């Protein structure tokens, strides 16, 4: 049987801090994120943060279309 990814002490601390943040008026998701962050900083057994999704590389549709058409609007016009 696999063990929990959160320690029991971490669960208690997180739930206590979520309640505190919620009473202060913080949104639920933000309160959970802040509580998890505090637990990590204090050294409790909490999983690592998920990596942020990467943005797609490349040009936008509009610049692709302008480059394809060969318009001067895609480049800076000289006056």
Higher pLDDT, 3 or 60: 3
Residues 43-65 as b/e (b if ≥16 CB within 10 A, e otherwise) read ebebeeeeeeeeeeeeeeeeeee
pLDDT tens figures, 7-43: 999 999 999 999 999 999 999 999 999 999 999 999 9
* pLDDT range class, residue 55, cuts 50, 70, 90: confident
């Amino acid at each position: 049987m696999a063990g929990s990814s959160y320690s029991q002490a971490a669960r208690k601390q997180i739930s206590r801090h979520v309640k505190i943040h919620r009473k202060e008026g913080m949104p639920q998701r933000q309160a959970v994120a802040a509580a998890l962050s505090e637990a990590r900083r204090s050294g409790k057994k909490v999983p690592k943060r998920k990596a942020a999704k990467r943005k797609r590389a490349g040009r936008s549709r509009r610049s692709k279309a302008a480059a394809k058409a060969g318009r001067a609007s895609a480049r800076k016009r000289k006056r």
